[in-house]
Amino acid sequence: MEYLQILQNKIIDKNYLSKLVENYRLKNQTIVFTNGCFDLLHRGHVTYLAQAASLGNRLIVGVNSDRSVQKLKGLHRPIQDETTRTLIMASMHVVSAVILFEEDTPLDLITLIQPDFLVKGGDWEPSKIVGANEVLSYGGQVKVIPFIDGFSTTNIETKIKQGA
């Protein structure tokens, strides 16, 4: 099978998501879910995703659609389109599946997946993370993985604009 096709097979839709999760559960695999814009993949993202993946057997990543990124970050974002961002995310060996979402939050995905671990980066309070209450209600765990200082898409964007 061609490598590009292998990557594209990791990019799934909501219709297939339920079947995939059911398959993971039948194999007693621990499911980790995280989400984000992942506009310009950098060291902070890679470290964060590796740490998230280490919590279980399967890492599912929700990627914000172009429309939802614009709503969150402004009209100047995303820098890379959703097709590019999902393909790059699928290329990471620690990522089992990638799903694009249009909604403002990933709550529908979290409710559908019912991950064993819900992971976010930064200094989030677990109680402020979308889906945290739902995950905790069935015995799942919510984890916050600290950011690596100096590594962010905003910092990269600023450097590019300054010609650094």
**Whole-number Å distance between alpha carbons of 68 and 20:** 25
pLDDT digits (tens, 9 = 90+) for 57-77: 999 999 999 999 999 888 888
CATH number of 158's domain = 3.40.50.620
The boundaries of the domain holding residue 28 are 3-162
Average pLDDT on 130-141 reads 97
Count of structural domains within the chain: 1
Cα–Cα distance for residue pair 103/82, rounded to 1 Å: 14
SS3 50: helix
Asked if 113 and 33 count as a contact pair (C-beta separation under 8 A), the reply is yes
- pTM score, whole prediction: 0.90
pLDDT band, very low/low/confident/very high, at 40 (cuts 50, 70, 90): confident
For strand 97-101 and strand 11-12, is the pairing parallel, antiparallel, or unpaired?
A: parallel
